Amino acid sequence: MGDRVKILHLVAGLGIGGLERVVVNLLSALDRDKYDLAVCCLDDYMALANEVSRMGTQILCLHRNGPGTDYGLFLQLSRLLRRHRVQILHTHNYSPYFFGVPAALLAGTPHVVHTEHGRVFPDRRALMAFNRLFAFKVDRVVAVSQALKQDLARYEKVPERKLKVISNGVPLRSVTSKEEMAAKRQELGYGPNEILVGNVARLVPVKDHQCLLRAMNLVTSVLPHARLIIVGDGPERSRLKRLAVDLSLGERVQFLGERRDVWDLMGIFDLFVLSSLSEGVSMTLLEAMVAAKPVVATHVGGNIELINNGCNGLLVPTDDPEALTAAILRLLQDRRLAQRMGQVARQEVERKYTLSRMARSYERVYDDCFAEGVARREVVCQ
């Protein structure tokens, strides 16, 4: 296979989440004949580590001493980069970026690529100041959406020549069969006449599940057989369950927690809803589109790029339960429209958001880093 380029992906951990799924999918799709791949966790290995190991990808872990700044991590990481002769360090989101760039400079790592998966701007001043400084030390800063690219240029002054947009991509799976859907519904205790609205997201404030619960309270007053299934876990779980009780939603909402069968669950949803206050490019929204599900999402971030309002889904304002209710009811009460939107959504992913397309785009970034490095060396030699 010749001399492969050693690339280390630096992440906070490998728990179940959108960013982590992007990294794992990318590792599975990159050309192994060209690249020798490894992944390093700042914290612990977590849930997706076994999946990465089964690919034959080396996993390393630094076991950071709790949240915040563990200054010993800089030296620990720089030694790791030298020991493994890493040629490209690829950091994902802020903590890996914060520790990765100084460590790469200490280690003499030739190239650094950073992917920003999504933040709310303007961010904390100190954080933006660090990122502004680091941007001049990296080869490329990748944004997962045009909106995020614009924010990085505006707030963190990332040079245009270093910015690149690579949208997240997902595997193109077959749509779930009717038999499989019926079996999964039965497993969860739902009958054929119940209408299932699904949401898959971390239970954190930015996902604004409170708005979704309030909207479902209104939806079920019109459609008593409608049910909400929330997949995911996080610090807001107790508060959201209390709100569901306060709204007297009872059996009309089910919190399933973290699940490894998200694709199977996606198959039984009649509608997928994302109520976030901010998004990069949501992996669960893409997966709903691959599953040919009609979607309702908030008019923020990458959602605007994925959803052509009225064509492959509906977009609504943030923090507006009434608007969210109206969009949900529109699609649940017009099944032909919902089915058509789901089919168009699937076609949109097939054209623009495949895993293969994402992987080839990152490979071009890696190759450009080396090409520009060679060009710089040639100029110096002249």
**Domains with residue ranges and CATH for the chain:** 5-169+354-381 (3.40.50.2000), 178-352 (3.40.50.2000)
- What pLDDT is attached to residue 319? 96
Check: CB of residue 207 under 8 Å from CB of residue 201: yes
Q: Which residues of 188-218 are buried (b: 16+ CB within 10 A; e: fewer)?
A: eebeeebbbbbbbbbbeeebbbbbbbbbbbb
Contacts of 307 (CB under 8 A, 6+ apart): 285, 295, 297, 313, 314, 315
Neighbours of 316 (CB within 10 A): 24
**Rounded to an integer, what distance in angstroms lies between the CA atom of residue 99 and that of residue 97?**
6
**Rounded to an integer, what distance in angstroms lies between the CA atom of residue 57 and that of residue 286?**
25
Amino acid letter, residue 187: E
List the pLDDT tens digit at each of the 382 positions of the chain: 468 999 999 999 888 888 999 999 999 999 999 999 999 999 876 788 888 989 999 999 998 876 666 788 999 999 999 999 999 999 999 889 999 999 999 999 999 999 999 877 777 777 778 777 888 889 999 999 998 999 899 888 889 999 999 999 999 988 888 899 999 999 999 998 999 999 999 999 999 999 999 999 999 999 999 999 999 999 999 999 999 999 999 999 999 999 989 999 999 999 999 999 999 899 999 999 999 999 999 999 899 999 999 999 999 999 999 999 999 999 999 999 999 999 999 999 999 999 999 999 999 999 999 887 544 443 333 4
**Rounded to an integer, what distance in angstroms lies between the CA atom of residue 291 and that of residue 362?**
25
The residue to which tokens 């650094």 are assigned:
112
**Rounded to an integer, what distance in angstroms lies between the CA atom of residue 306 and that of residue 241?**
30
- What pLDDT is attached to residue 124? 77
Helix (H, G, I), strand (E, B) or coil at 287: helix
**pTM (two decimals):** 0.88
Neighbours of 342 (CB within 10 A): 24
